[in-house]
Copies of this chain bind each other. A is one copy, B any other.
Amino acid sequence: MTEMLLPTSAAVAPGEISGAWLARFGAALEERNSGAVEGLFLPDGWWRDLLAFTWDLRTFSGSQAIAEAFRSTLDTIWPSRFGLTPGKDPTLVEPDPGTRWVQAFFDFETAVGRGVGFLRLMPAGTEPGAPWKAWTVLTTLDELKGFEEPSGPRRAHGVAHGEHRGRRSWLEQRRDEQSLTGGDPTVVVVGAGQGGLTIAARLKQLGVDTLVVERNPRVGDNWRNRYRSLVLHDPVWYDHLPYLPFPAHWPVFTPKDKLADWFESYASAMELNVWVGTEFLGGDYDDGAGRWVVRIHQPDGTERTLRPRHVVLATGINGVPHVPEIPGASDFAGVWCHSSDHSSGRNFAGRRAVVVGSGTSGHDIAQDFYEQGVDVTLVQRSSTYVLSSKNGIAVLLGGLYEEGGPPVEDADLMLSSFPFPVVGQLHVGATKVLAEMDAELLAGLEGAGFKLDFGEDGSGLFMKLLTRGGGFYIDVGASTLIAEGKIKIKRGVGIERLERDGVVFTDGTTLPADIVVLATGYQNMRESARVLLGDDVADRCQPVWGLDHEGELRTIWRRSGHPGLWFMGGNLQQARTYSKFLALQIKAIEEGLIPQA
Q: Which of A119-150 contact B (CB under 8 A)?
A: 149-150
Q: Are A371 and B163 in contact (CB under 8 A)?
A: yes
Distance A192 CA – B249 CA, assembled complex (angstroms) = 21
- Chain B residues with CB under 8 A of A174: 257-258
A549 at the interface (CB under 8 A from B): no
Distance A152 CA – B403 CA, assembled complex (angstroms) = 7
- Chain B residues with CB under 8 A of A252: 155-158
In the complex, what residue of chain B is closest to A346 when comparing beta carbons? B166
Q: Are A159 and B255 in contact (CB under 8 A)?
A: yes
A169 at the interface (CB under 8 A from B): yes
A373 at the interface (CB under 8 A from B): yes
- Chain B residues with CB under 8 A of A370: 163
Q: Are A236 and B155 in contact (CB under 8 A)?
A: yes
Q: Are A153 and B403 in contact (CB under 8 A)?
A: yes
Give the shortest distance, in Å, between A208 (CB) and chain B (any CB).
15
Give the shortest distance, in Å, between A547 (CB) and chain B (any CB).
32
A7 at the interface (CB under 8 A from B): no
In the complex, what residue of chain B is closest to A372 when comparing beta carbons? B166
Distance A14 CA – B205 CA, assembled complex (angstroms) = 42
A249-B155 contact, Cβ under 8 Å, with A261-B269, A269-B262: yes
Q: Which of A216-253 contact B (CB under 8 A)?
A: 228-229, 231, 236, 243-244, 247-253
Distance A486 CA – B269 CA, assembled complex (angstroms) = 36
Q: Are A476 and B159 in contact (CB under 8 A)?
A: yes
Contact size range, A: 35 or more
Give the shortest distance, in Å, between A18 (CB) and chain B (any CB).
26
Q: Which of A378-397 contact B (CB under 8 A)?
A: 389-390
A506 at the interface (CB under 8 A from B): no
A255-B171 contact, Cβ under 8 Å, with A248-B151, A248-B152, A268-B264: yes
In the complex, what residue of chain B is closest to A153 when comparing beta carbons? B403
Give the shortest distance, in Å, between A587 (CB) and chain B (any CB).
16
A229-B167 contact, Cβ under 8 Å, with A161-B476, A162-B480: yes
Give the shortest distance, in Å, between A84 (CB) and chain B (any CB).
21
Q: Which of A474-512 contact B (CB under 8 A)?
A: 476-477, 480-481, 486
Q: Which of A555-592 contact B (CB under 8 A)?
A: none
A73 at the interface (CB under 8 A from B): no
A265 at the interface (CB under 8 A from B): yes
A182 at the interface (CB under 8 A from B): no
A80 at the interface (CB under 8 A from B): no
Q: Are B257 and A155 in contact (CB under 8 A)?
A: no
Q: Are A373 and B236 in contact (CB under 8 A)?
A: no
- Chain B residues with CB under 8 A of A403: 152-153, 155
Residues 162-201 of chain A, each 1 if its beta carbon lies under 8 Å from chain B, else 0: 1111110111001000000000000000000000000000
- Chain B residues with CB under 8 A of A149: 249
- Chain B residues with CB under 8 A of A404: 152-153
Distance A155 CA – B390 CA, assembled complex (angstroms) = 16
- Chain B residues with CB under 8 A of A153: 403-404
A298 at the interface (CB under 8 A from B): no
- A selection of 8 A-B contacts at a CB cut-off of 8 Å is A155-B250, A157-B253, A158-B255, A163-B481, A166-B372, A169-B257, A170-B256, A170-B257
Taking A155-B252, A244-B247 as known contacts, 5 extra A-B pairs with beta carbons closer than 8 A to each other, sorted by chain A number, are A158-B231, A158-B253, A167-B368, A169-B255, A243-B248
List 7 tightest A-B contacts by C-beta distance, closest first: A158-B251, A170-B255, A265-B265, A158-B253, A171-B257, A159-B231, A156-B251
